Copies of this chain bind each other. A is one copy, B any other.
Amino acid sequence: MIGVGVVGYGYWGPNLVRNLHAHPQVRLVAVCDLDPARLDLVRRDYPAVRTTTSARDLLADPAIQAVVICTRAESHAELALASLRSGRHVLVEKPLAASGEEASRLVDEARRRDLLLMVDHTFVFSPAVRKIRDLLLAGDLGRRVHYYDSVRVNLGPFRHDVNALWDLAVHDLSILDYVFPHPPLEVSCIGVSHMEGQPENLAYLTCWYPDNLLAHIHVNWLAPVKLRRTLIGGDQKMLVFDDLEPSEKLKVYDKGITVTSNGGGRDALMVDDRSGDMWAPKLSNREALALEVDEFVAAIARGARFPADGEAGLRVVRVLEAASRSMRSRGLPVTLDPGLVPLGNP
């Protein structure tokens, strides 16, 4: 049994708590939140779990081996650092930290102490994204991938602490980090706030990869409809991932273009579109968070590799930081220093 303490029981915390509590090898020891009313809910639903308003108090509990942090992004670094320094493994809600510098310090601290630093990049554990990675690794979309285009828009909630980029685009960046072998070379971002003095609620983020692979992410808190649709185009096949579909979330199209040269110049090149079958692979119905808790347990108990480690979290934060910088200059491309961003997936 792994003793776990959770810090933060606001919007996302209850989901992690529910899945931690349901896992047979986890003992949910304590939950901490600054708001006593939130702790009332914990006691109502999990009477056996200790509650506290003090993270220091929670870290003092010797029954806790791992700490899960689901607070606002701005407090991630401090809480994670304290947890690591007290010798605990840590799982941090996305984004890992509010800046690359903070995230980098966490990665260093975890490495120095030989502790696990894990990031709750939830989509990395979803059956659809797992299947997308398998398809890409197997070359099923072709030898080259041309683009990744994601639309992630809905109406609210309107946040004050982070903008739509750090709130929503972070999901796509974590997926990109997981399914592509390289981090982006350069990013460019355009975004605006439509509420005086509030964070940007609408943003368009472009990531440049080698070989003209372009990733584009559209996030918006002020959309009349909820959309979660990603297109990925390869030179042989293409796919659509629509996360709002109750079933057949992933559709693979045997479509593309065929080029025929007839010896002449540019116009002599015939480019025909080619259309074949569509195929929707069966996906597991398992909740992503349940799988994430499984792998969290496996990492702590058996040393298994957790797919969203601190370095993945750091890479994603660095892209967010670069995107924010580009956004302030109305979309000027910002180059990512490859030396600072260790490659993730071997």
Contacts and interface: CB of A to CB of B under 8 A. Distances in A.
Contact of A158 (B45, B48, B190, B273): B273
B240 A231 contact: no
Contacts of A235: 194
> Which of A206, A216, A222, A281 has the most chain B CB within a 10 Å cutoff?
A222
Interface stretch (A8-16, A94-102, A110-118, A144-152): A144-152
A220 B238 CA distance: 13
Count the copies: 4
Give the interface SS of chain A, mostly helix, strand, loop or mixed: strand
A220 B45 CA distance: 37
Contact of A149 (B218, B226, B277): B218
A248 interface: yes
Interface stretch (A62-70, A83-91, A195-203, A299-307): A195-203
B195 A259 contact: yes
Contact of A269 (B198, B202, B218): B198
A279 B282 contact: no
A266 interface: yes
B266 A253 contact: no
Residue of A146, A194, A272 contacting most chain B CB atoms (<10 Å): A194
Nearest to A233: B222
A158 B246 contact: no
Contact of A204 (B216, B246, B251): B216
